Structure 1
Amino acid sequence: MFFIRTESFKQFLKFYPIVSTIVAIHLIVFLLVNISLGLRELMIGWNLPILVDGQYWRLMTPIFTHTGAMHLLFNTFSLILFGPALEVMLGRIKFILAYLTAGLIGNVATLFLADLMYSHVGASGAIFGLFGIYLYLLFMRPELIDASSRQVIIVIVIISLVMTFQPNINIYAHLFGLIGGLAIGPILFAGYKGHFRI
């Protein structure tokens, strides 16, 4: 099963450079926004300045921003577990596009569905986008996923959805990130011949 990490640190960096780079960005941004409150204010997703002042970068920067250690650890751990297989299958460019697109979809949904004063941070929308892609594979390309991996995907998605409906969770980013992943799955895997399986 591909979701069990057996690589050394050096091997992980070599085999999965995009996932490794995103993890490094998570850690660096976490340190910076906890040192500089001014930078934190600029990085968070905040509906009011997006709509009133056109600060559209706030639709993207939250994907890499975490202010709490547990939030950082959960999202980064999820990326380390579930990102590598898709990076290998899709290639670097498609994986980057998939990750950012799902995160952006979740943040745009938050912009239009949450109130003006709503603010948020975190890679959860992008992470749920990865889950959505896995669900697409599970239902539409099952030949690419072995039985044990299918079980892991189902359990993780169910647990993650249950956790979504807790206080202080951006429900819109989670749900629409997942939907975004499902929607882009057919595009990402169009013509994929299955030279790598999970």
Structure 2
Amino acid sequence: MFIRNESFYSFRRSYPIVTILVAIHLILFVWMNFLPGGRWILTMGIGNNLAVAYGEYWRIITPIFMHIGAMHMLFNSFSLVIFGPALEKMLGKSKFLLIYLLTGTIANIATFFLGNPYMQHLGASGAIYGLLGLYVYLVINRKDLIDSANSQLVMTILIIGLVMTFVNPNINVLAHLFGLIAGAALGPLILIGVKRPYYANRVVFDDGEPTFDPNRWQKKRRLNKNIKKLIWVFFAVLVIAGLVSRFF
């Protein structure tokens, strides 16, 4: 569910919304840091509680797509590539984009009402945690949509992420927490009519064509090894991100 083995072309074709969101992250990062007009985009788009109070309401949405630090941008994009595809396939493009934008917006609204009036913020973390919140709802209430191995992986990564949220002083804690809560709270509505995705019993090869795999459950040991590797890789990225963000 979370282990990607598609080619870039296959990934782009199968998960267009995730691909577009990651592309926006990259384009805005490059523009804000290296191209003419980048400083203006940053100034006009960054989340700014005082500016929102004076009526600049677009700042509740625009920070979802903006990152000024390379590690911040790469980490959030990596997280989206890991957690986004299964939900995009499960929900469909429209619902996936809706839950992503709603949870990110709710996270920024919470930051506005509960954060420091002079606080400035940016990043897709609130929306990423919104996706995690939806996964938590799946783990607790929709076990028909997620297997036990992936449930364990989600909860492990969530715990690590929450620990890092409170350890790192540069994290927008409100955005993480309220993004998570929003994703879980919207779960019952966003999952109406959603059934177990077709690929749950299929193996996807590099050409993107699905084929039935009758021995899927006999490969549990191999899958568990891959999941353990993924957990350690993700943990390493979290630690590096936490350390680097202290210096930039």
Q: Provide the TM-score with structure 1 as the length reference.
A: 0.96
> C-alpha distance in 1, partners of 2:199/2:161?
24
- Measured against aligned partners, the alpha-carbon deviations of 1:28-72 in whole angstroms (never above 9, x if no partner) come to 0111111321211111100011102x1111000100000000100
The equivalences for 1:160-179 within 5 A come to: 160-165=161-166, 166-179=168-181
> C-alpha distance in 1, partners of 2:115/2:89?
35
The equivalences for 1:67-82 within 5 A come to: 67-82=68-83
- Measured against aligned partners, the alpha-carbon deviations of 1:116-147 in whole angstroms (never above 9, x if no partner) come to 11000100000000000000000000121112
CA contact (8 A) 2:126 2:178 kept: yes
Q: Provide the TM-score with structure 2 as the length reference.
A: 0.77
1:128 corresponding residue in structure 2: 129
Q: Percent identity?
A: 54
> C-alpha distance in 1, partners of 2:152/2:6?
22
2:66 corresponding residue in structure 1: 65
2:28 corresponding residue in structure 1: 29
The equivalences for 1:1-198 within 5 A come to: 2-35=1-34, 36-52=38-54, 54-165=55-166, 166-196=168-198
- Measured against aligned partners, the alpha-carbon deviations of 1:5-33 in whole angstroms (never above 9, x if no partner) come to 00000000000000000000000011111
> C-alpha distance in 1, partners of 2:194/2:72?
34
Structure 1 letter corresponding to 2:189: I
Q: CA RMSD in A?
A: 1.0
Deviation for aligned residue 1:191: 2.3
Structure 1: which 5+ runs fail to align? none
Q: Between Structure 1 and Structure 2, whose CA radius of gyration is higher? A: 2
Structure 2: which 5+ runs fail to align? 201-248
Ranges of 4+ aligned residues in structure 1 off by more than 3 Å: 195-198
Equivalent residue pairs, number = 196
CA contact (8 A) 2:46 2:62 kept: yes
- Measured against aligned partners, the alpha-carbon deviations of 1:144-179 in whole angstroms (never above 9, x if no partner) come to 111211111011110111111121100010000000
